[in-house]
Amino acid sequence: MARRDTTGAETGSGEGAAKTLARRLHAFRSLGDNCEFGFVQRYGGVEPSGLLRFSYTPLEDLIRGLRCGFADFGVPGDLRLSVSAGGTYYCHSRAYNIWANTGHPAGSIAPEVLLEREYGRLAHLKRKFLDELADGSKILVRKVGRDEPESGFARLAEAVWAHGPSTLLRVTEAGPAWAAEAVRRVGERLIEGRVRRFAPVEQAWAVDLEPWLYLVDGAYALVQDAASTRLDADAFPEALALSGRLRRHVGRHREPALSAFTRAVEPGGFRGDAVYVFSCWVWIPEDFAGTRVFATAGYTRLGWRDADLSQRNCWQRVWAAGRLRPDAVREPVGLGMIGTRRDGFWSIGARFAEGPIPGDAPEPALPRPPARIPGWDLLARLRPRFP
């Protein structure tokens, strides 16, 4: 019989994997640093509210705010708006040096209207945040860089626990050799785990999603004494039948440009609130001179992993997750390449499934593609669709 976790989802059942991950993501709250964990939750298919979810929050200012219950956060005169380099309104707290992304492009709303909304929104979220701290109902997430002293996180934990019995998740970077591993309990209310890399400071949206979701699932299971979720490929049910057979893809242009190897799908046949992922294995030959090989699951990508072009003559998995827009006539699912007609690569094991990540899958049994077959490049150019 499949074991159930405290959310009621069957963690031993493939049918519930994506929904279980989404439910578990709701149990976490970001303690700032930047917006990366907010994007982890979004790419996982959920949008929980949180005071610091999309905020840049320096550690010392965060500790100072916690120690006084953010007494001056959002009081009259505390907030001001500014426009980021990307053209988005940010709301800045003068008292605590917290910068929150409002999500509104500059010019899309009158600044005075937006500022009034921010005062109301932050007042509500601050009360909710302090209530959650008091009852210890959420797992609080904070990233720790390699050069940050341990004493800083210790003072943060002390400031948090002065409010209540919250569990803190300390997250560090493992580097390129990351592999899924158990989250460790290092104290009564302190756990820690690792991801492969953090998103760049100025590109918090560029999340390495797979390690984060393994970490979230493991942290939830540890805290709640629940079963870990099955995250193998079969745990995410297929949403579209693909043959998955071996294919060679060749560029179609004299000069470097996009060549798409996709299938156009009708969004009406899929759930508008679900996240779907396309994945497959690719083989980049030694003479490949293109600049990018990537996957797509609709025009709006959430999570993704492009091909690492430094890896040649070996199988590597690429994937992309996204939502299919219900108002679109067609959405592309498949592969893309930036290169010329002299560039080509192989793929095998194509799969389109429901879920934010593709899940673990074994490498192809085929050790390497066959030698190039005469006339195959011409045939590949005449077959634009990804079957």
Q: Is 263 in the same domain as 177?
A: no
CA 321/CA 182 separation, integer angstroms: 25
With 60 as the cut, is the pLDDT of residue 384 above it? no
Q: What is the pLDDT of residue 21?
A: 96
Q: Residue 234: what are its φ and ψ, rounded to 5°?
A: -70, -10
With 50 as the cut, is the pLDDT of residue 3 above it? no
Give the residues across from 99 on adjacent strands: 56, 92
With 80 as the cut, is the pLDDT of residue 291 above it? yes
* Domain contains 8: no
Nearest to 218 by CA among 187, 190, 189, 191: 191
* Domain contains 249: yes
What mean pLDDT is reported for the chain?
A: 91
At 177, the pLDDT band (50, 70, 90 cuts) reads very high
Q: Is 215 in the same domain as 74?
A: yes
CA 7/CA 250 separation, integer angstroms: 47
With 50 as the cut, is the pLDDT of residue 272 above it? yes
CA 89/CA 81 separation, integer angstroms: 6
Q: Which of 161, 190, 224 is the last residue of a domain?
A: 224
Q: Structural domain of residue 342, as residue ranges?
A: 234-381
Q: Which of 202, 224, 246 is the last residue of a domain?
A: 224
Q: What is the pLDDT of residue 372?
A: 63
pLDDT, tens digit, 9 for 90 and up, residues 33-62: 999 999 999 999 999 999 999 999 999 999
Q: Is 169 in the same domain as 50?
A: yes
Q: Which of 187, 203, 224 is the last residue of a domain?
A: 224
CA 214/CA 260 separation, integer angstroms: 31
Q: Is 243 in the same domain as 148?
A: no
Average pLDDT rounded to a whole number, residues 170-198: 95
116 and 102 Cβ atoms separated by less than 8 Å = no
CATH code for position 307: 2.60.120
Q: Is 367 in the same domain as 275?
A: yes
Q: What is the pLDDT of residue 56?
A: 93
Q: Is 368 in the same domain as 316?
A: yes
End-to-end CA distance of the chain: 37
Q: Residue 138: what are its φ and ψ, rounded to 5°?
A: -120, 155
Average pLDDT rounded to a whole number, residues 169-189: 95
With 90 as the cut, is the pLDDT of residue 382 above it? no
Q: What is the pLDDT of residue 85?
A: 86
Q: What is the pLDDT of residue 311?
A: 97
Element (H, E) at 115: helix 111-135
Query: Which has the higher per-residue pLDDT, 6 or 345?
Result: 345
DSSP state letter for 269: G
Query: Which has the higher per-residue pLDDT, 343 or 325?
Result: 343
Q: Among all chains, which residue has been given the structure tokens 């390449």?
A: 337
At 383, the pLDDT band (50, 70, 90 cuts) reads low
Q: Is 164 in the same domain as 258?
A: no
Average pLDDT rounded to a whole number, residues 132-139: 97
CB-neighbour burial class of residue 276 (10 A; exposed 0-12, middle 13-18, buried 19+): buried
Average pLDDT rounded to a whole number, residues 246-258: 96
Q: Is 253 in the same domain as 217?
A: no
Q: Taking CA 8 as the corner, what is the angle to CA 326 and CA 136, rounded to the nearest 5 degrees?
A: 100
Q: Is 189 in the same domain as 313?
A: no
Domain count for the chain, please give it: 2
With 60 as the cut, is the pLDDT of residue 154 above it? yes
* Domain contains 387: no
Q: Is 71 in the same domain as 47?
A: yes
CA 155/CA 153 separation, integer angstroms: 5
Q: What is the pLDDT of residue 226?
A: 95
CA 305/CA 361 separation, integer angstroms: 15
With 50 as the cut, is the pLDDT of residue 12 above it? no
Q: What is the pLDDT of residue 2?
A: 35
- Say how many C-beta atoms besides its own lie within 10 A of residue 135's C-beta: 11
At 375, the pLDDT band (50, 70, 90 cuts) reads low
Q: How far is CA 210 from CA 58, 179, 220, 304, 375, in A?
A: 26, 10, 16, 9, 38
201 and 229 Cβ atoms separated by less than 8 Å = no
pLDDT, tens digit, 9 for 90 and up, residues 96-110: 999 999 999 999 999
Q: What is the pLDDT of residue 150?
A: 84
* Domain contains 3: no
Average pLDDT rounded to a whole number, residues 224-241: 94
